[in-house]
Structure 1
Amino acid sequence: MDSDPVMLRIEAVSQSYDGEHWQFRDLDFDLRAGEITAILGPNGRGKSTLLRVLAGLLKPTSGRVELNQGTGFVPQEFVGSFPYSVLDVVLMGRARHIAVFQTPRKRDVEKAMAALSATGMADYASRNIEALSGGERQLVLIARALAGENAVLLLDEPASALDLKNQDVVLSLLSELADREKLAIVFTTHQPNHAVAVADKVLLMLPQTRTVFGATEEVMTEAYLEALYGIPILSARLGSGEREETAFVPLFRQRDRKGERR
């Protein structure tokens, strides 16, 4: 995969809002076509800020972001002021292809419908976005990013509010898009098991601006994850037959029958 073209490169990138407290410092890594990168870190560590820097929505305090292709950004949820249809929401992803004061053309609608088909949401095109479930809306937001014909896809906790089945739907879709469309995909998550399921590389945003970046199998270890989250984490090989995968289990404090923590 290292032979695939670099779609986005960051060099010595740092971010601070006040010049004293840093979300991250001196980050260096490449995003390649067909590669999925997962970003893990505790709340407030700067995961969403880093996505905004990668998307070009926020200028880093220092360092350089080099983007070779268009970038699609998928937020955690869609917030609209009007009861938009699903198709209208996806057409918003065509904004950079539509001139000012110009209405969407036939080609724009075709691209939007193709993106909905890719996410399995074509039959929902005329539905009100507010009438959809959380999982369905997440697929629509991914379709919106795809409609923009972007080579890089950035997703902020795309499966955080979804049930297990819809988590699988979204993660499987990301894997398919990386393999079939050769997109460079980055997503943030609090779930280590999401990273080991689909990511080729992982960025761990450890306390005190420390970071670790590398291949998933090298970075996703019990020691690193315990340092990341501040609680014991165990790994296990689970599965049956030909399918066996690594899973991570956090050791939460439990209550005994007297209601005391142990």
Structure 2
Amino acid sequence: MDISSSNPEAAVSFSNLGHAYVPDTWIFRRYHASVRKGEIFAILGPNGRGKTTLLKILLGAIQPCEGTLQIDGDVAFVPQLFQVSFDFSCLDMVLMGRARKVGLFTKPKASDLNAASAALERLGIAHFAELPFHQLSGGQRQLVIFARAIAAEADILVLDEPTSALDLQNQQQVLRWIYALSRQDGLTVLMTTHHPHHALAVADQALLMLGCDRFDIGPAKHVLTKEALSALYNVTMARARFQHRDRSMETLVPVFEACPDRTQLLETRGVSEVNSTIM
């Protein structure tokens, strides 16, 4: 792997990136992107397309088979699922995010404890501090691991489907935190997601992993179209326009055709767009 530094404004950039676990059987190749500092970058693609492999390369867990990569800053990772075998408290789990600053064979200082407590407080879960991590629900664990990433005080956050285990209210809250960390704290955020409407809500750029050497990248509002997402997931997508408080907004939603009678009803009515109002 060649480490380049051609773009000083980029927190993460890669060019002609490719990886194959089996020789000549490429997961993806010739991928390129440049993510500026403070941007939110969403990665979308169906299962098996290589999203996790791409994240592992960005995290340095595996070396790509070809291409160049630049990472400018410290990276913190929030995995999709996280389990531990030992009886750690939630505060202990968040303190682990300070490992780079604490160092080996050194106890956390008061500043580390303060940073961990502040991260829990920021996410509204300070009351989790002394609870055993393994007793929490999957969604609650996700919030604690998110707090651990914040406590790390990294420059770049890599999030693997950060809302996958969360209910709707916490999905909204996590999206707000992601946006705030980008805009207020200046963090660069790279996130995979199966929810295009989440990417539309917060992302500056989006990468659609269309195939081995086929991808689309650009501003989220231009890349995340009804046609592109329908082709990406092989599912009909519809554009939803709605009024939220005093703002007119729109997003994209899937139209699941599990019930033929309902699908036929929509077709006979000539419904091509979903219009709703949120009061």
Both structures adopt the same fold (TM-score exceeding 0.5):
yes
Deviates more, 1:68-77 or 1:97-106: 97-106
1:60 deviates by 1.0
1:251 deviates by 2.5
Three-state SS of the structure 1 residue aligned to 2:166 is: coil
Which residue, out of 201, 207, 213, partners 1:209? Answer: 213
Which residue, out of 41, 44, 49, partners 1:45? Answer: 49
Question: What does the per-residue CA deviation read over 1:87-134, in whole Å, with 9 as the maximum and x for residues that have no partner?
Answer: 110111111222222222222212212222222222321111123233
2-structure distance, mates of 1:79, 1:136: 12
Number of aligned positions between the proteins: 257
- Would you say the 8 A contact 1:153–1:184 is kept in 2? yes
1:241 deviates by 4.8
Equivalent residue runs for 1:26-65 within 5 Å: 26-65=30-69
TM value normalised by structure 1: 0.91
Q: Hey, what does 2:126 align to over in structure 1?
A: 122
Q: Hey, what does 2:95 align to over in structure 1?
A: 91
Partner AA of 2:181 in structure 1 = L
- Would you say the 8 A contact 2:31–2:213 is kept in 1? no
- Would you say the 8 A contact 1:4–1:34 is kept in 2? no
1:80 deviates by 0.3
Partner AA of 2:243 in structure 1 = G
Question: What does the per-residue CA deviation read over 1:63-86, in whole Å, with 9 as the maximum and x for residues that have no partner?
Answer: 122111100010012210112101
**Is 1:156 paired with 2:141?**
no
Partner AA of 1:60 in structure 2 = P
- Would you say the 8 A contact 2:14–2:34 is kept in 1? yes
Which residue, out of 236, 253, 265, partners 1:232? Answer: 236
Give 5+ residue unaligned stretches, structure 2. 1-6, 262-266, 268-279
Question: What does the per-residue CA deviation read over 1:168-215, in whole Å, with 9 as the maximum and x for residues that have no partner?
Answer: 111111011111111000111111111111111111011343111100
1-structure distance, mates of 2:99, 2:245: 48
**Is 1:18 paired with 2:31?**
no
1-structure distance, mates of 2:244, 2:99: 47
**Is 1:244 paired with 2:253?**
no
Q: Hey, what does 1:107 align to over in structure 2?
A: 111
Give 5+ residue unaligned stretches, structure 1. none
2-structure distance, mates of 1:79, 1:134: 9
Q: Hey, what does 1:71 align to over in structure 2?
A: 75
Q: Which runs of 4+ in 1 moved over 4 A?
A: none
Three-state SS of the structure 1 residue aligned to 2:116 is: helix
Q: Hey, what does 1:178 align to over in structure 2?
A: 182
Distance 1:152 1:213, change over 3 A: same
- Would you say the 8 A contact 2:42–2:192 is kept in 1? yes
